[in-house]
Chains A and B, each alone.
Chain A
Amino acid sequence: MRNPHAATRAAPAATIFLPDWLAALLMLALACPAPVAAEATPTSGKIAPLELQRSAAPGWQRQKVDSQGSSWPQTDWTGYSTVAAIATPGPNGPLHFETPVTGDAARGRQLAFDRARGGSCVACHVMGKDTPPQPGNVGPDLSTIGAMRDDAWLFNYVYDPRTQNANSIMPPWGAHRLFNVAEIRDIVAFLKTLKTPYHNSDPQDDPATRSPPRDTRDNLDPTENPAMFALDRGKELFDKPGAGGKSCASCHRAPESSFKIWAARMPRFEPRLKRVLGVEEFITRHARVTTGEELPMQGADNIALSVYLHNLANGETIQPDLSSTGARKAAQSGMALMQRKLGQLNMACIDCHTKERHAFKWARGQYLVESRGTVAHFPTWRTSRGDIWDIRKRFQWCNVSVRANDLPPDAREYGEIEMALATINKGEKINSPGIRH
């Protein structure tokens, strides 16, 4: 996109009758990314140099620990769908297991409540008078299911809900091997014992009456948000000469004005890469050919600079540039990826994060929110993880949460989802660094 300010500023060189050589020199000086006193944008309409060949996260492998050392799920879920590839779907019709289903109800109860096996049924269901604390309500209350459904229905629904409901958010517990057939028989035996309506005297424990969380924290209070340490670090790094002797500030002398809206227009479709480029990948690729510094995505220095650049755009509204075909196609692909069922748990972004599906319900003690309102605070401090996450890290976590292999941070698919989310969040004000659970 051309910048009108650049055109205005370049004009005097051509109109005030300078000797050709001086005019040429002046033009070169203006074209050079070096000293520009009061930029209107970081590049004043010029194309930012980028390194285009290498990975922006060299040596990345599915994470074992994050940068602050919190553990990261290590299981390999190869064979289940990811945002990069669709795996084989489950069975298409009822399995017709012999009835009645016999099993050990006590063992079934234990399995239903076991958090290590996919989060336990209680993540989404109230299950009678013995329901453990903080049940969720994404799925229906099963307290009287034993009086309502027959054995074959129960077995088949638990084995693979797609046999009876193509759009169910429920994981195909049998088809995706979270439980074996004997275990599902036990679970069904337990479900058949559920015949008494649920009553919880604690309104904060009952998902029907629990109050949604209200966040009153001031994310920009330096004694509140540990990510403010990274803001300081980002400012320092901006001024610090890289391996090539130049710093960001060598070319961008007035970042407060020239980066006022920049991060609010990211991510953008980058024709040279033929895919979407976010702030963090931009930092890596731009620094390689300007300051000479290697700032791999999701490294502490890359995130600190991202915090700084986002913070400079605080208060500006997110306005993704969808003027090119490439950008529009990327946003469309991202929207489609958000509908793809992923991982062993077989869940799509939209299952939990649209109000048409299950947003504003409880997954155990966690409140599900809509996709709108989830972007403008990145990079964000996660209190549960003790670390700052850029938005790509959030995507990686969403993937492993539904037990799908995560991708490298510079994956094309994450760029597309980022573009789709920027579109959904158009008009939201940047407010970074954020602080979230």
Chain B
Amino acid sequence: MAEPMKIRAKMEGEFADVKVLMSHPMETGQRKNEKGELVPVHFIQSVIASHNGKTVLDIQWSQAIARNPFLGFRVKGAKAGDKIAIDWTDTAGDKSSIETTVGA
């Protein structure tokens, strides 16, 4: 099952203000498990944000983004009812996505 996400988009002046919280361990590869073995590096590498199907943000992340990553951004020219979507891909090739409608 894809990891859950939370998203909220609402109009603030001329922008759609978007906030996203993703569920992901963002393992740095430097942490040890109870057997003293290093836990393999595992983090979200790529996030694409799109507005009505067009990419507005193309993001590259490292393992130093906090566990359960937060992303906030703004889209100019958006209006209430528009679609905002988030797609991420992690180092294991897992993906997750969510879509929401911009609120007034």
Contacts and interface: CB of A to CB of B under 8 A. Distances in A.
Contacts of A69: 25, 27, 31, 33, 39
B70 interface: yes
Interface residues of A, number: 15
A228 B4 CA distance: 11
Given A69-B33, A386-B68, A228 B25 contact: no
A65 B19 contact: no
Given A222-B6, A223-B6, A226-B21, A68 B31 contact: no
A222 B8 contact: yes
A274 interface: no
Contacts, number: 42
B38 to A, nearest CB: 12
Nearest to A385: B67
Interface in B78-97: none
B30 to A, nearest CB: 11
Contact of A71 (B20, B25, B31, B67): B31
A229 interface: yes
Contacts of A68: 25, 67
B48 interface: no
Interface in A187-243: 222-224, 226, 228-229, 232
A223 B68 contact: no
A332 B32 CA distance: 41
A226 B21 CA distance: 7
Given A68-B25, A232-B4, A223 B34 contact: no
B21 A222 contact: yes
Contacts of B8: 222-223
Interface string B1-30: 000101110000000000111010101000
B79 to A, nearest CB: 21
B7 A223 contact: yes
A64 interface: yes
B4 A223 contact: no
Interface of B: 4, 6-8, 19-21, 23, 25, 27, 31-34, 39, 66-68, 70
22 contacts: A64-B34, A65-B33, A68-B25, A68-B67, A69-B27, A69-B31, A69-B33, A69-B39, A71-B32, A222-B6, A223-B6, A223-B7, A223-B8, A223-B19, A224-B70, A226-B67, A226-B68, A229-B4, A229-B21, A229-B68, A232-B4, A386-B68
Nearest first, the 8 closest Cβ-Cβ pairs linking A and B are: A64-B34, A223-B19, A226-B68, A386-B67, A222-B6, A223-B21, A65-B34, A223-B6
